[in-house]
Amino acid sequence: MGISPIFVTTNYQNMDQSSNDQLDELGLHFDNDARRALFETSKWARFIAVVIFIGCGLFLVFILFAGSRIISLFQNSFFTSLGESGVVFIVAAIAALLALVVATYYFLFNFSMKMKDGLLTENTGSINAGFASLKIYFIITTAIAILSLAAAVYEALVK
């Protein structure tokens, strides 16, 4: 089941012309199906990254507008014993997690842009940079998954 020609852009049609394919000259061989798959993957990666960036921005706006109410809820909970430092710790932890999410999805966005550019211009340096960004994205998400799994197992064992 192939991709409908309706979704193929005019820039992509230039990628099918492989008479002087620079990627082939350097030993990197992509057939048209592989190019199309990587091109579609770069589009979806950019879409996912942009949605996450928008979500993080909306979360930040929500925190800024509802910040005083959230802080008052934390002050009335078990963080009361920690005083001001507990609230500062919670705010710093939320900011660090938000920065981690944005940094992680920056690498996915970077993969998308580099891969698209590399496929359109047949530049192996750009394609390699795109794959390097994807590798870093997968390393970070794997580390987060392992830490989350370890925390869940710990919680299950403690109960």
For the chain, the structural domain boundaries read 30-158
Phi, psi of 128, deg, nearest 5: -65, -40
Cα distances from 37 to residues 19, 31, 42, 71, 106, in angstroms, run: 20, 10, 9, 47, 21
Per-residue pLDDT tens digits of the chain, which is 159 residues long = 444 333 334 344 444 444 345 555 556 677 889 889 999 999 999 999 999 999 999 998 888 887 777 767 766 666 666 666 766 777 788 889 999 999 999 999 999 999 999 999 988 899 999 999 999 999 999 999 999 999 999 999 998
Taking alpha carbons only, the member of 48, 70, 63 closest to residue 141 is 48
Biggest CA–CA distance in the chain, Å, is 72
Beta carbons of 130 and 110 less than 8 angstroms apart? yes
Distance between CA 118 and CA 107 in Å, rounded?
A: 16
Look at residue 81 in the predicted model and tell me its pLDDT.
64
The predicted structure's pLDDT at residue 3: 42
Q: Give CB contacts under 8 A, 24+ apart, made by 143-149.
A: 144/100, 144/104
**Structure confidence at residue 52 (pLDDT):** 96
CB 134 within 8 Å of CB 112:
no
